[in-house]
Amino acid sequence: MQLRAGSQSVKILQDISFEVFTNQVVAIVGPSGSGKSTLLGLLAGLDRPTEGSIRIHQTNITTLTETEMAHFRRKHIGYVFQAFHLIPTLTALENVALPLELQGISTGTSRAKALLQSVGLEHRLQHYPVQLSGGEQQRVALARAFIVQPPLLLADEPTGNLDSSTGAMVIDLLWELHQQHGSTLILVTHDMSLAARAQRILTLRDGTMVNETTHPLPSSGPEA
């Protein structure tokens, strides 16, 4: 993966190859600037690699058009951002229901209510993001990511903007939702105690994968 700045190109990621299996939890770690978030963005189809390919559910997402990728992402990928990325003019309930509404699914509101209840926010349904604490906003973001029951969930520093106790609660919820919905989970984190909960840890340095630690886990097939 290269980025061009004027007449020069800078390599962000190189020689990275790995496979993730269904229901696995994989943590991507490494120092700042090692390419962790870039790799996650590639897996989400938010960026395109300058070479190589990415397959999710046997689909080579690097060959999809932007419109095709948007439809694929909507059905198959949930994404949790460090900065929450909630829509400020929508309530918590509306933010969570939005992905289903975009698909024309009429049960979005009822499913959103159930998910918000599962993350302890049944009393915040009609609150706007500005009226919610950081931990509450991240819980809304978790519910939104799971609303379509995505086979693949990506999380970029999900506790990065939270204090330690709130972050621990959010991580427990993330793991609980992952187990309930059976999603494959790939997360970027600088928190090694969080990474240690994953079945696999991939370590990046200077855009290259330099180490992989694996904890055996029964798997049922390739995911990405």
CA 183 to chain centre: 11
Helices 134-146 and 164-181, axial angle in degrees (round to 10): 10
Angle value at C-alpha 119, between 117 and 121, nearest 5 degrees: 55
Whether 1 and 38 have beta carbons less than 8 Å apart is answered as yes
C-alpha closest to that of 114 among 104, 125, 130 = 125
Give pTM, 2 decimals.
Answer: 0.86
Distance, in Å, from the CA atom of 200 to the CA atom of 218, rounded to the nearest integer, reads 12
Q: Which domains does the chain have, with CATH numbers?
A: 13-214 (3.40.50.300)
C-alpha closest to that of 131 among 90, 187, 175, 185 = 90
pLDDT of residue 131: 97
DSSP character string of 141-176:
HHHHHHTT--SEEEEESTTTTS-HHHHHHHHHHHHH
Distance, in Å, from the CA atom of 40 to the CA atom of 42, rounded to the nearest integer, reads 5
Counting Cα atoms < 13 Å in the Cβ hemisphere of 36 gives 24
pLDDT of residue 126: 97
pLDDT of residue 216: 59
Residues of the chain with pLDDT under 50: 1-8, 218-222
What letter would DSSP give residue 57?
Answer: T
Residues present in the chain in total: 224
**E strand or H helix that includes residue 59:** strand 59-60
pLDDT of residue 191: 86
